[in-house]
Amino acid sequence: MELEETIIDILKTKKTKTGGNCGTYAAAMCYDLNIPYQDVKPILEKLEAEDKIFYRIGVAGKLIFWK
């Protein structure tokens, strides 16, 4: 649960700082937290199923946005 809260905090902070105009890449999040993508993926899937995040296509892959 602690990791989920950290990921939510990262996404909310990004939304607040940019006014919702910029998302974050999963790879960047993994790099910042120093954890593998396998640990982040189930949390992102859960948040998407709960309709708390959405994705857009970015230059280097999918960008994750907090709703």
Q: Name the pTM for this structure.
A: 0.90
Domain that holds residue 61: 2-66
Position 1 pLDDT exceeds 80: no
**CATH number of 47's domain:** 1.10.10
Give the span between the Cα atoms of 3 and 59, in whole angstroms: 27
Stretch 30-38: mean pLDDT: 96
Give the number of domains in the chain.
1
**Considering the chain, what percentage of its residues have pLDDT values greater than 70?**
100
Contact 23/58 with Cβ under 8 angstroms? Answer: yes
The helix (run of H) or strand (run of E) holding residue 56 is strand 53-58
